[in-house]
Structure 1
Amino acid sequence: MYWCACALLFTGVCSVFSPVPEQLSLSGTWTLSGQDGALVLPAVVPGCVHSALRREGLIQDPYFRFNDVSYRWIALENWTYSTTFAASAHLRSRQEVELIFDGVDTVASITLNGNLVGKTDNMFRRYDFSVRELLKEADNLLQVQFLSPVVYASERSKAHQSYRVPPQCPPDVQKGECHVNFIRKEQSSFSWDWGPSFPTMGLWRDVRLEGFDALQLQQLSYLPLYNGSGSQWGLQVELLIDAVRTTGVQVTFSISELGLEQVFQTQFLPGRTKRTFTFNIEKSSRVKLWWPSGHGDQPFHLLSVRVFVDGSLMLDREVKVYFRTVELIQEPIPGSPGLSFYFQINGKPIFLKGSNWIPAHAFQDQVTPAVLKNLLRSAVDANMNALRVWGGGVYEQDLFYDMCDDMGIMVWQDFMFACAMYPTEADFIQTVREEAVQQVGRLKSHPSIIIWSGNNENEAALATNWFNISASQRPVYVKDYVTLYVDNIRKIVQKEDPSRPFLVSSPTNGVESEQEGWVAADPYNPHYGDVHFYSYLSDCWDWTTFPRTRFASEYGFQSWPSFSTLQPVSVGEDWSFDSRFTSHRQHHQSGNQQMLEQAALHFHLPNATDLLRRFTQTLYITQVMQAQCVKAQTEFYRSSRSQVVGGKGHTMGALYWQLNDIWPAPSWSSLEFGGKWKMLHYFARSFFAPLLPVSVEDDGALIIYAVSDLSADLKLRAVVTVHSWAYLDPVCSRTSDLRVVPGGSAAVLYRQPVATLLAGCGRCTRLTCLLTFHLEDSAGIQQGSNNYHFLSSPREAEGLQRANITVKVQQDGGGLTVTLQSSSIAAFVWLDVGNIPGRFTANGFLMLSRNKTVGFEPWRPTSAAELSRSLTVTTLRDVY
């Protein structure tokens, strides 16, 4: 249906009603200029100032050596993005034309043809402005004038006169900028203990014009509805519409697989309107459920949404719809004080195995689909089923959550507040409210997101007085805390998305924190909620130093990345553990020393006279230390899932800090910048295995658990093998009785004093021997992965020799393989192929046999010859 409104007097054209909205992308190449106009260069949108300067060769790689400090000037200046464009007569004749910015980083004034269109102050919001009357046919000039985020944050802090809002500045070791809590921007962009200070500016997401005559869809979201008692599924669909004409609107929903078609007659008020449509699915038995990785598949149904105005089709969209339920269970545990804390997906308790996600790059325009896919696939390939999107970074791009949906990765989603107090002025609260509404609306349709959390560690900061707030002033900060996270963010989430649990903070005591006025006396109480735990000075091999918590959402140890990752951002004089470069890259106070002290508890430290060799071996030993430490802690948490000891236990989550790196530097990550697997990530593939034998020593007794994430019960026994450090052939073995291991449990299969175990094995002592163990079924077939148990620190081991290992690289129909042949036992065998991207099927392993073959999966075309030339093999005995 068409109608014509003559507009010759005004535009010289006849405005013809068109049922299809029109879009003009303004992304692409813009012009970037400095504040004095002396520097003018092209800039790609989406992008940022740093990327534009780098692309034009005006700065070096910002990650090279000390450039994070050298390029501080960039964030202290004001910058302007400009573009010109033509607007067709047809676009200008539309009843409404909106200028839409999906992401502006951060504080800017926007003008179109010299007219102020609006201002922005929040990196996490989408902004749109009505601009129809400002458009002309050609040479429309659009300018976005950015203020320095560092200067803006400082000025906002100075304007807050009544009381300080800590912390004012990051620790000196981070070499960062101050007052980041006064700007709604990626908090880690002003620096963090694992990342550089690059306070970016730019149009970091798309820009476009959208014109329409009747209505335009701004957002389509849905929530699955489940009536547990009747096993009945329904669907709630929300349409956020900008409307001009409002009558005669018909909305049709259909899912062909489920035989669903629902028709609604409605209207949209002029302006922005949200309409919610709810309906039942009569053929609920056909609904396919989404499951986390390792627990089932991730099927979806296609929902068709069509909107008609006066019989004309205005909107035709097809979206994926996933069905699943999520519950956070906090209920009494028999015989234990406190409450449980675990997630149920589709009614099944799930142990969350995974890590914490930080921004994948300091410059978000560099986070490509390939980067995301590599990192997320590496998580799933290491048997992870969950990631926590940490609250000091960004709400990730849509593709991140799409991939998590497809891969079955559960997402713990923080709001972007971290390690700070925040102001509560009216304008700050208002922009946060807009941020929360938009982000929840954008993300709530993703089944991967299983929980919202208001902030990272801010309850703990208040409770344990990180910022030396006086007792008399504390009520002021508690009031601000409740105002921001409870009265605003929590209420918005409960209104916009009642389908998921919400926690005010992490760590938190959950409902117990709520009962204590939202700030618990001890948010680290292991009887409630989730816990963050770090201890760099205690012996990380001693499981008694770990909290037996309900849920461990942060824990970890640092290591350095590989030499091949550091080499492109450094020079020869930097390749020493005592160099200015290694000190500069370490943003955690005393971090380099802590790594060496922790490693020295169990390993000899490298002491080669050749400085480069000592440096590369030190990098290696930090990775060995990190992998062993996180292995010990994670296996303790997994073995505690079915135990309550002294009222503590029933642990149902282990998310170590952290998955990925933002730049080449020391950090807690298991994936280096660029995606290379550290030794920790190879270990994670084993310690997150769905069926895993775990050992602990308690009062001199060896205890072996079978930890199962499987649904079915299994009948298993533990097989323990004793090895001498001096010989490749096993000394003896011991086998337990068969026992039923219930699905989703940790069951003890073996318990025996170590002295008794060794007494029947020749001349073995704690210093001369070590143990390996695995699980078998009644037919003697191994189930699950292998594991090992050191009877003493390897630095004290007697008989460990420097192994003579020969290597053969082959390529056949099955891909690339590396076969190792060893003359003796070798510990922590590390295969490195330099800058050839890819990963091995196993690495960092104990070589307890004469021959071992591992595969290599390249991430670009390579050959056996190239791999062979680049391959180096390092073992523990090589470093001393």
Structure 2
Amino acid sequence: MHKTSQQLTTGWSMRQADDLSQDSWLPVKTVPSQVHVDLLANEKIPDPFVDANELSVQWIGEKDWVYRTRFSVPSNSEDKTQTDLVFLGLDTFATVRLNGHIILEAENMHTAHRVRVSELLRPDNELEIVFHSALLRGRALLDQHQAEHVFHVRQTEASRIPVRKAQYNWGWDWGPILMTAGPWRPVLVEQYVARVEDVWTQYELSADCTSCAGTVYARVATTQPDNMAVVLSLADDQDKVVFEQTCPIGSDGLVQTTFQLDSPALWYPHGYGAQTRYRLSAKLIRADTTTQLDAQSKLIGLRRCELIQEPDAFGKSFYFRLNGIDIFSGGSCWIPGDSYLAQISPARYRAWMQLMVESHQIMIRVWGGGIYEDDAFLDACDDLGILVWQDFAFACASYPVYDSFIRSVEEEARQNIRRLRSHPSVVIWAGSNEDYQVQERYKLDYDPEDTDPESWKKSSFPARYTYEHLLPKWMQEEDPSTAYHPTSPWGDGKPTADPTVGDIHQWDIWHGPMSRYQDSAELAGRFVSEFGMEAYPHLLTLHRSITSPQQRHPGSRLMDFRNKAGDHERRMITYVAENFLVPAAADLPAFTHVTQILQAETMRYAYKAWRRMWGAPGARHCGGVLVWQLNDCWPTMSWAVVDYYLVRKPAFYAIANALRPLDVGIVRNCPVWTSGHADPFAAGNECEFDLWVASSRLEAVQVDVEVRYVSIATGELVAETITKRVLVAPNATTEVLAGQCVKVTTAKARDGDIDPFVVYAVISVQGQRVAEDMAWPQPLKYLDFAERNVTVGFSPARDCVTVQAQRPVKGFVFEESEGLKLSDNGFDLMPGEKKVVAVSWDGRAAQELPWTYIGK
């Protein structure tokens, strides 16, 4: 009998467990699903994403919920036929009954479950799943284990710590408290006499990447291994079989054989080469008849990834090397893509990852307060060439190590390592997110010189036993070729803010001392795996989430409610007031615009400064930059550079431009703040500046550099233009001008006044412009942006729009909406130039394209 698999998607109903009335059962459109999704579909609750409705659905998290369905399976008279129920994800504490018999007690959202049910089946079967309140169970576990562990926590309540559930469900500083429950991943019925559980490979590339040798493995579940065999094979992207071997099955179900490939086609991140993959297959056959009983295949990529941590002039490096190529890992952090994970489609995952490619981002970091991401997410990263940093599912807490907790964590870790290990995109696992910062905050025990794991278990920070002993052990057993990092941030046991080693989370901008984004160059680390600046989403997103016009202004009750960041009122307005003229309190469009330009400017300064520190081989001062965060899980104002509806903020384009394969960077060295206060005369008639070109191209490129000095008041050139031809080093930073001094000589300047000017740099290759940058006097609020004389015109087909101005323009932004796609936004304009932006619309997009700029 060939294995059959039936997914139970329809025919479900659900109800509140303590509501026993006859009409309490509600239809469920499809499974996977979660309680809020079904209650909303049945109009039993208001939309928690709108206004303050989040508060009116808090009761859901304190209730138990029941899902049920009926199913039948085909009868089969063949001996040894088995039937399993497979639950790929239950959220979270669940009691599962089949025909009245308890078959499973689940307690971990992150694990799958397979239950043999052959003896319980009937012609018509009833499956019932009771989901118990994770909130209440978590509080009970706190009480049960309070004598053995102190549950220190940052972010939300401590009841999340002992519960193996996505931690963001308890709320975070960017998301709502929505305690979900339900069959959040597929439920299957499988019948078989034998099946392939997994197929994978471990391999090594030669030093010159011209050959690949390793072992192919499969694991088989069967009671008759002597009568069966497994055909293991590799086929290239043209379906040509390049390796095949028929293998016996070991007594433990393990199958293995060695292989070697000459001149293998390699997998690269986008921009560095092709994303070539091979199909790895395991076919389970009857040895005497070659009848196929089951098969499993997956696409794999062959590549060598190294995490380079070597002593150098700056401390100890931290960057990735793929197939011998050093990679500057510019990218983003990823939070769960929705508060309701069950409703994220593969197409939506791919759309998110396509945004990474469009913005030249190489790496996505899957944050530890969410989930081990969906196969569709990883498939998109493999296909598009995006490197994945995956955190284990721990975040901002001191986690326990009591026996039942560790047993659950081990099953969770091993399952997910096995599921992700064949994806070429996954290049590193980290033990947790910011848990060692919790250790520092609460002064928990930590002695880097203590190397005894058993002593760690008995300390006030027992989670060290998990991160530095158990997880690396399980990684070595399941996926020894992938890098492991004890936590993020982490640097060899040094303080987590140490900029000389490991990765850092640079929250001196926004949090902490609220450093100025203009000082980004002073805030670098060996790898900046978090940093960010908040901004409002575009207006249509705000209007969709706040329905009352009276509440649509900064500082309103609903606007403040929706922004979950602590102290966001003081932090946001401080950064706005330091850099811009503060809009009127009731002017939501103007305030939205300045927050967006604030965020975009932060991205520009940080990405350009830290990419400049990529340096050259042997001097990789900064190995990567990951913004917090790419996305939102609901419509809100946050650090995301793209909102919940996949609408890009101007910061998205600032990152895209800073990560171009060839980019020019320019920074003014003149003082901006004196004694902690803004200097209103720092925008004067002279300045010094540096100019560099950053390249990720693998060959040297001859570049023409042009530097102009443009009066902000008149748009006229105020000093002699500089032109240079430069040979840009491959995969490195090339310093072009250092301490270049310019002094303007306009009539206005001679009269003793100041004539602020922009330093404007353009680089071209063979006459084609490839990048530009502008260094404006800071802060921007002292500049006069009146009378810019901007014109905007559409092409007849409305597929491109041309923008021009007679004087320099800062922060030109088109108002974006869902379904609209622009080639650039949030840009600056120089007189005498035409900015052409490609535009595409789908049926969701607003057909108007309002625009604004600083000072309009």
TM-score normalised according to structure 1 size? 0.88
SS in 2 for 1:654: strand
1:144 pairs, out of 123, 126, 129, with 129
**Equivalent residue, structure 1, for 2:451:** none
Query: Does 2:816 correspond to 1:840?
Result: no
Q: How far apart in 1 are the matches of 2:405 and 2:9?
A: 29
- Between 469-478 and 353-362, the greater mean CA deviation after superposition: 469-478
Query: Does 2:691 correspond to 1:704?
Result: yes
**Equivalent residue, structure 1, for 2:602:** 629
Q: How far apart in 2 are the matches of 1:307 and 1:476?
A: 47
Maintained 8 Å contact 1:736/1:749: no
- How many Å apart are 1:683 and its aligned residue? 0.9
Cα deviation, 1:129-171, whole Å, max 9, x if unaligned, reads 1110000112x1111111101000000011013244333574x
Q: How far apart in 1 are the matches of 2:719 and 2:34?
A: 63
Maintained 8 Å contact 2:396/2:433: yes
Q: How far apart in 1 are the matches of 2:188 and 2:79?
A: 17
Cα deviation, 1:92-151, whole Å, max 9, x if unaligned, reads 97521111000000001111111110110000100011110000112x111111110100
- How many Å apart are 1:467 and its aligned residue? 3.3
Deviation >6 Å, runs of 4+:
470-475
Which structure 2 residue ranges, 5 or more long, are not aligned?
Answer: 448-454, 671-686
Equivalent residue letter for 2:183: L
- How many Å apart are 1:415 and its aligned residue? 0.6
Query: Does 2:437 correspond to 1:460?
Result: yes
- How many Å apart are 1:250 and its aligned residue? 2.2
Change over 3 Å in CA distance of 1:733–1:230 after alignment to 2: closer
Equivalent residue letter for 1:686: N
- How many Å apart are 1:195 and its aligned residue? 0.6
- How many Å apart are 1:701 and its aligned residue? 2.7
SS in 1 for 2:136: helix
1:332 pairs, out of 283, 291, 311, with 311
Q: How far apart in 1 are the matches of 2:444 and 2:259?
A: 53
Q: How far apart in 2 are the matches of 1:90 and 1:766?
A: 90
Q: How far apart in 2 are the matches of 1:365 and 1:569?
A: 21
Alignment of 1:157-556 (within 5 A): 157-167=142-152, 170=155, 177-213=157-193, 215-228=194-207, 231-257=210-236, 260-269=242-251, 273=252, 275-282=254-261, 284-285=262-263, 287-310=264-287, 311=289, 312-333=291-312, 335-336=313-314, 338-462=315-439, 464=440, 466-467=441-442, 469=444, 476-477=458-459, 480-509=462-491, 512-513=492-493, 520=494, 522-535=495-508, 536=510, 537-543=513-519, 546-556=522-532
1:829 pairs, out of 804, 807, 812, with 812
Q: How far apart in 1 are the matches of 2:209 and 2:168?
A: 47
**Equivalent residue, structure 2, for 1:720:** 707
Q: What is the percentage of aligned positions where both structures have the same residue?
A: 26
SS in 1 for 2:226: coil
SS in 2 for 1:596: helix
SS in 2 for 1:599: helix
- How many Å apart are 1:752 and its aligned residue? 3.9
**Equivalent residue, structure 2, for 1:583:** 560
**Equivalent residue, structure 2, for 1:516:** none
SS in 1 for 2:5: strand
Change over 3 Å in CA distance of 1:407–1:390 after alignment to 2: same
2:121 pairs, out of 122, 132, 135, with 135
Change over 3 Å in CA distance of 1:417–1:561 after alignment to 2: same
- Between 665-674 and 255-264, the greater mean CA deviation after superposition: 255-264
Maintained 8 Å contact 2:229/2:285: yes
Maintained 8 Å contact 1:539/1:601: no
**Equivalent residue, structure 2, for 1:40:** 25
Change over 3 Å in CA distance of 1:776–1:23 after alignment to 2: closer
Cα deviation, 1:183-225, whole Å, max 9, x if unaligned, reads 0000111111111111100000111111112x11222333343
- How many Å apart are 1:816 and its aligned residue? 1.0
Q: How far apart in 1 are the matches of 2:446 and 2:417?
A: 36
Cα deviation, 1:727-780, whole Å, max 9, x if unaligned, reads 3444444325434321111121013444x3435998498752111102245x6x
Maintained 8 Å contact 1:382/1:686: yes
Q: How far apart in 2 are the matches of 1:697 and 1:528?
A: 28
Maintained 8 Å contact 2:457/2:464: no
Q: How far apart in 2 are the matches of 1:638 and 1:132?
A: 59
Q: How far apart in 2 are the matches of 1:163 and 1:318?
A: 45
Q: How far apart in 2 are the matches of 1:541 and 1:734?
A: 29
Change over 3 Å in CA distance of 1:836–1:854 after alignment to 2: farther
Q: How far apart in 1 are the matches of 2:462 and 2:183?
A: 31
Query: Does 2:852 correspond to 1:874?
Result: yes
Q: How far apart in 1 are the matches of 2:796 and 2:646?
A: 24
Query: Does 2:790 correspond to 1:805?
Result: yes
Maintained 8 Å contact 1:550/1:648: no
- Between 150-159 and 38-47, the greater mean CA deviation after superposition: 38-47
Query: Does 2:9 correspond to 1:27?
Result: yes
**Equivalent residue, structure 1, for 2:721:** 734
Change over 3 Å in CA distance of 1:564–1:544 after alignment to 2: closer
Equivalent residue letter for 1:467: Y
Q: How far apart in 2 are the matches of 1:406 and 1:687?
A: 24
Q: How far apart in 2 are the matches of 1:758 and 1:713?
A: 35
- How many Å apart are 1:263 and its aligned residue? 2.2
Change over 3 Å in CA distance of 1:422–1:819 after alignment to 2: same
RMSD over equivalenced CA pairs, Å: 2.6
2:763 pairs, out of 775, 789, 793, with 775
- Between 363-372 and 228-237, the greater mean CA deviation after superposition: 228-237
Equivalent residue letter for 1:655: L
Change over 3 Å in CA distance of 1:805–1:116 after alignment to 2: same
Maintained 8 Å contact 2:307/2:321: yes
1:638 pairs, out of 588, 611, 617, with 611
Change over 3 Å in CA distance of 1:470–1:541 after alignment to 2: closer
Change over 3 Å in CA distance of 1:81–1:26 after alignment to 2: same
1:750 pairs, out of 737, 759, 765, with 737
Cα deviation, 1:844-869, whole Å, max 9, x if unaligned, reads 11122356353344352489xx62xx
Alignment of 1:40-59 (within 5 A): 40-43=25-28, 44-59=30-45
- Between 476-485 and 427-436, the greater mean CA deviation after superposition: 476-485
**Equivalent residue, structure 2, for 1:686:** 657
Q: How far apart in 2 are the matches of 1:551 and 1:721?
A: 33
Residue-pair matches, total: 818
Q: How far apart in 1 are the matches of 2:320 and 2:529?
A: 13
**Equivalent residue, structure 1, for 2:673:** none
Maintained 8 Å contact 2:692/2:735: yes
Q: How far apart in 2 are the matches of 1:642 and 1:358?
A: 30
Q: How far apart in 1 are the matches of 2:446 and 2:414?
A: 34
Q: How far apart in 2 are the matches of 1:230 and 1:50?
A: 50
**Equivalent residue, structure 2, for 1:7:** none
Query: Does 2:545 correspond to 1:569?
Result: yes
Q: How far apart in 2 are the matches of 1:486 and 1:873?
A: 52
**Equivalent residue, structure 1, for 2:51:** 65
Q: How far apart in 1 are the matches of 2:638 and 2:115?
A: 42
Equivalent residue letter for 1:796: Y
Alignment of 1:787-798 (within 5 A): 787-798=773-784
Q: How far apart in 1 are the matches of 2:153 and 2:433?
A: 17
SS in 1 for 2:410: helix
Q: How far apart in 2 are the matches of 1:230 and 1:694?
A: 34
Q: How far apart in 2 are the matches of 1:503 and 1:819?
A: 48
Cα deviation, 1:527-550, whole Å, max 9, x if unaligned, reads 111111112254534336632311
TM-score normalised according to structure 2 size? 0.91
SS in 2 for 1:45: coil
**Equivalent residue, structure 2, for 1:173:** none
Maintained 8 Å contact 1:95/1:211: yes
- How many Å apart are 1:617 and its aligned residue? 1.1
Change over 3 Å in CA distance of 1:836–1:46 after alignment to 2: closer
Equivalent residue letter for 2:188: R
